[in-house]
Amino acid sequence: MRGWASPATAHDVAGAAIGAVAGIGTTIRRWLAIDEARRVLWLPVFVGCGIALYFALAREPAAGLGAIGVLACGSLRWLLRHRRGVAVLATIALAMALGFAAAQLRSGRVAAPVLAERWGPAELSGRVVSVELRPEGRRLILDRLAMPGLTEAQVPARVRLKLPPSAQIPIPGDRIAARAQLVPPPEPASPGAYDFARSAWFDGLGGVGSIRGDIRLFAPEERPEWRLRLNAARSWLVARVLALDPGPAGQVTAALLTGEMGHVAPEVMTQMRDSGLAHLLSISGLHISLVAGIVFFAVRRVAALVQPIALRWPIKKLAAGAAFLAISLYALFAAPGVPTTRAWAMGSIVLLAVVIDRAPLSIRLVAWAALGVMLVMPEALLGPSFQMSFAAVLALIAAFEVLGPPLARLRREAGGVIKLAASAGAMLATTLVASLATAPFAIYHFNRLALLGVIANLVAVPLTSIIVMPAAVLVFALLPFGLEGPALQVMNLGNELVMHTAQVAAAWPAASSLWPAMPAWGLALTSLGGLWLCLWTQAWRLLGLLAIVIGLASPWLVAPPDILVAADGRAIALRRDDGGLGVRASAGSDFVRDLWLRRAGLAVGEAWGAVEPSLRPHSACDAQGCWIERPAMLAAIVTAARELPAACAHATVLITALDVWRSCPGPLWLVDRSALRLAGAHAIWLRDDGVPRVVTVRDERGARPWVRPATGGGT
């Protein structure tokens, strides 16, 4: 019987395959040689991987493990310095160990007591650190606390309290006393949701709550430190702007002058997100670069008009120094966050490059700025500000590397009309690239994608550049003389036009779309794909597009849970056949319900009515609970005690907010009040093999410093 190929043919095929592999290897080595200078750009990436590894651990690592890892990997790198291939791997390990150590060190440095349980109502006193104006009222951050009933080791370093509308408003530096109630920072509302308690840990917040009744003010015991005086000045300016215009335009003006967005109304935030203009609310690269540019060109033009200065001094470098001073003061005053810090760092490097006659724009600048932020604030890596800020800048510079030369050639050789069209095209391309680069992070953190943001940005960004930010520079220049009123009015006018643009764009059909929750691995794959696309220059960079596509598809590659149960048992959601959610939520559970709907990619949920058999085949729900039948299991959700005996006898999975575990040994899996208290919110998948998959908030968070020790009991 003849084979598929003769021996000679098989030999030829094998030889061709070996030759193809060898050719691919040669091509990759050639590309690596061409991009050798860009390999260093991956060091911040591996530092970030080390930080992500630290936060992904289920348990807190042993003290000093990160430092030991840095010493071990550093020693290994030095020993293997002459073996090039292995030395590269040792360098990667060293970078990851450095990121891990930075995160562990930062977590230890910010360690402070966190409330273990509800405290109060009781008398509390403390020093006002800041006053935040929110749509629902004012909030205070207090430190130097006195809390009766707690030992010194139990008193948090800082707490955040909501101030009653009728209460007297203190200023930073004041010491107050009031009756208050506090709770520990809340855990995620469902597995995979935003972890406020982790953010609170790194912000030094050990509790949140509210003040009951009036407050009593006491004179400061000492002159407030400069940070508190700066907070007071920031609060004064917010009040000054909102007194002039309390509407959306004034709210945005105050945000751009002070960096505080808490007073921006929720509907305004929604319109800005839906229109793709949310980036204009936070002080980031656009605003810092505009301030630098306005001051740079103004100082340079004025200096050029003064003959002794123009002839004797390098006015370009003087202008760069003035611009650096301007952005430093602006960033310092504007409640520095990650976007502001990143923008200031990059702007400072650009201006330094002007002073020392170096090229001001490079992808290395982005890499070192990202490395600096990660080493100082490793927790920033997990937040949308860091991710979206650096993604936009990195994508823009990578695109400029490709499109910059032909655009420059076009401007040199083309006529006036073509140059104008090229400038408009460059603005459109800039907006499109930045929008595409930040889209995956908007999907992951906000479950929302602005589909028409490019069009809205083409209107809003020029308004910000031509009207809003020049007026902002004038506001700060005139503020010491009390003459800022006209400049504030101009700035409000510009922001009114921006807000009108956002309102119109958000009202367009399909202006934005809701996306289901993206798993963490999907975001990681998308991020690595984007980095691969931007950091290399050769053709293999296009492989990054494949990773991006798979990452963006990840929300539909994972099965959503069939049942969600809130940590207090007051909200329960069931997934419908059509992908919708039937939600049963009692008073006070609106936040949890809305978050569940958003993470499901839904604008509205279905009410869990008196009888709703369409939730699942062979299921029925009423005021007493819900029965869900599957081929190999029966799930019961019980809200009335009289239904418990039947559920205990027949259900495979029993879910209830009652405490029943001692008298209900029957179910394979029991979620009751004790289990919820122990493990937090639950997500449950009812699998056809008869064994449910259950993931809890406690499972995902592990035993970390920002996770309260488990309390309660259950099975």
Residues 442 and 297 in one domain: yes
Q: Is residue 711 part of a domain?
A: no
pLDDT tens sequence across 654-678: 999 888 867 787 788 889 998 999 9
pLDDT value at position 357?
A: 74
Nearest-angstrom CA–CA distance, 286 and 282: 10
Residues 351 and 499 reside in one and the same domain: yes
479 vs 310, higher pLDDT: 479
- CA dist 520 and 240 (Å) reads 42
Residue 241, in any domain of the structure:
no
Residue 628 above 80 pLDDT? Answer: yes
- Give the pLDDT confidence score for residue 487 in this predicted structure: 94
- 570 with 679, same domain? yes
Task: Answer yes or no: do 186 and 305 share one domain.
Answer: no
Least confident of 108-122, 347-361, 410-424: 410-424
Residue 233 lies in a domain: no
25 and 86 part of one domain: no
* One domain, residues 325 and 414: yes
Q: Measuring CA to CA, which residue among 36, 41, 45 is closest to residue 96?
A: 45
**272 token code pair:** 């800005």
pLDDT value at 4 more than 60: no
Q: Is residue 714, in this structure, part of any structural domain at all?
A: no
**Domain span at residue 21?**
1-34
Q: Based on the domain organization, do 682 and 583 belong to the same domain?
A: yes
Would you say residue 390 lies in a domain?
yes
- Confidence band, pLDDT 50/70/90 cuts, at residue 69: very high
Domain-embedded: residue 326? yes
Structural domain ending residue among the three candidates 224, 259, 285:
224
> Which CATH number covers residue 130?
2.40.50
Whether 307 and 192 share a structural domain: no
The answer to whether residues 113 and 85 touch, using CB atoms and an 8 Å cutoff, is: no
Give the model confidence (pLDDT) of 414-439 as tens digits: 666 776 777 677 777 888 888 889 99
Better-predicted residue by pLDDT, 256 or 26? 256
pLDDT at site 82: 82
Assign 625 a pLDDT band (cuts: 50, 70, 90): confident
Residue 232 included in any domain: no
Is 235 a member of any domain? no
Tell me, yes or no, whether 316 and 458 share the same domain.
yes
Last residue of a domain, one of 89, 109, 129: 109
**384 & 320 share domain:** yes
**pLDDT at position 650, please?**
86
Q: What is the 3-state secondary structure (H, E, C) of 492-544?
A: HHHHHHHHHHHHHHHHCCCCEEECCCCCHHHHHHHHHHHHHHHHCCCHHHHHH
- Work out how many domains the chain is built from and give that number: 6
Q: Note the pLDDT tens digit of each residue in 233-277.
A: 888 899 899 988 988 999 999 999 998 888 888 889 888 888 888
pLDDT at 228: 86
Strand 137-146, strand 158-162: pairing = antiparallel
Q: Work out the angle at residue 34's Cα, subtended by the Cα atoms of residues 33 and 37, and round it to the nearest 5 degrees.
A: 85
Percent of the chain's residues with pLDDT above 70: 91
Using the predicted structure, report yes or no on whether residue 578 has a pLDDT greater than 90.
no
pLDDT digits (tens, 9 = 90+) for 499-546: 999 999 988 887 788 899 999 999 999 999 999 999 998 888 999 999
606-617 tens-digit pLDDT: 666 544 444 444
